[in-house]
Amino acid sequence: MNARPNQIVLDIGGGESCPFAKYRDPRVHARIIAVDVSEEAMKNNHDVDEKRVADVTDDLPFGNGEVDLIASRTVLEHLQNPEAFIAISSRILKKDGHFINLFPSKFAPFALFNVMVPKKISTKLLSFFFPESRGRTGFPEFYKKCYYTAIKSLLEKHGLEIVFSFLSYYQSHYFRFFVPLFLVSALYEILLEAFGVKDLCAYVLVVARKK
């Protein structure tokens, strides 16, 4: 964001705040634009320079090669068609522009639970065991292609190469309400990380560059 002046930066799923806006160097004049499917969700977002309402799997209101950086956090798992989002992002990115996504992995136990258990029940359980989550849940999760090898394949298909990735196996905090389950989860994490099983990690962070 601060590497060169006058960059256009998209915060996908912008919501009510942009956590990386505070790191912007005012001397480089980066322009941060929040994009969300809901205008209401962005109503109180004062961190960005502009807000645009769009379904990222339908289209993004930018021209070919207009955008320098696209970033999202915990958005991909909510998309019915993540490949469409990746293809659209590749279209609007400049050459050497960057595409950054953080998302939970499809095969993490908590993700499997979210998919198998009806939404009303999972939301109630989450609110009961984690009161701090109340009011921050409700969007359906699909986890389509939300694992490392699938995302890597989709990125490459659409002219994006991964230049950095970080896989987090930590997920035991979801089970802290029951110590034996927490310990089993912690052992599971340790084994997965030790053997480098990428597709079974808990969270994936990928930084890709448009070729």
pLDDT digits (tens, 9 = 90+) for 9-53: 999 999 999 999 999 999 999 999 999 999 999 999 999 999 999
Whether residue 137 is predicted with pLDDT greater than 60 in this model: the reply is no
Average pLDDT of 156-166? 98
pLDDT for res 143: 96
Cα distance between residue 31 and residue 68, in whole Å = 10
Cα distance between residue 120 and residue 99, in whole Å = 33
Class of domain 54-210: alpha beta
Whether residue 122 is predicted with pLDDT greater than 80 in this model: the reply is no
Average pLDDT of 121-133? 58
> What does the chain come to in residues?
211
138-152 CB burial, b ≥16 within 10 A, e <16? eeebbbbbbbbebbb
pLDDT for res 208: 98
Cα distance between residue 60 and residue 79, in whole Å = 14
Confidence band for 125, pLDDT divided at 50, 70 and 90: low
Confidence band for 140, pLDDT divided at 50, 70 and 90: confident
Least confident window among 13-27, 36-50, 133-147, 186-200: 133-147
Whether residue 154 is predicted with pLDDT greater than 80 in this model: the reply is yes
pLDDT for res 177: 85
Whether residue 123 is predicted with pLDDT greater than 80 in this model: the reply is no
What would you measure as the largest C-alpha separation in the chain, in angstroms? 53
Higher pLDDT, 113 or 61: 61
> Kindly report the CA angle at 30 between 24 and 33, in degrees rounded to 5?
100
Q: Where are the domains of the chain?
A: 54-210
Whether residue 118 is predicted with pLDDT greater than 80 in this model: the reply is no
Cα distance between residue 185 and residue 206, in whole Å = 24
Average pLDDT of 139-156? 95
Cα distance between residue 161 and residue 119, in whole Å = 35
pLDDT for res 99: 98
The pTM of the full predicted model, rounded to 2 decimals, is 0.89
pLDDT for res 194: 96
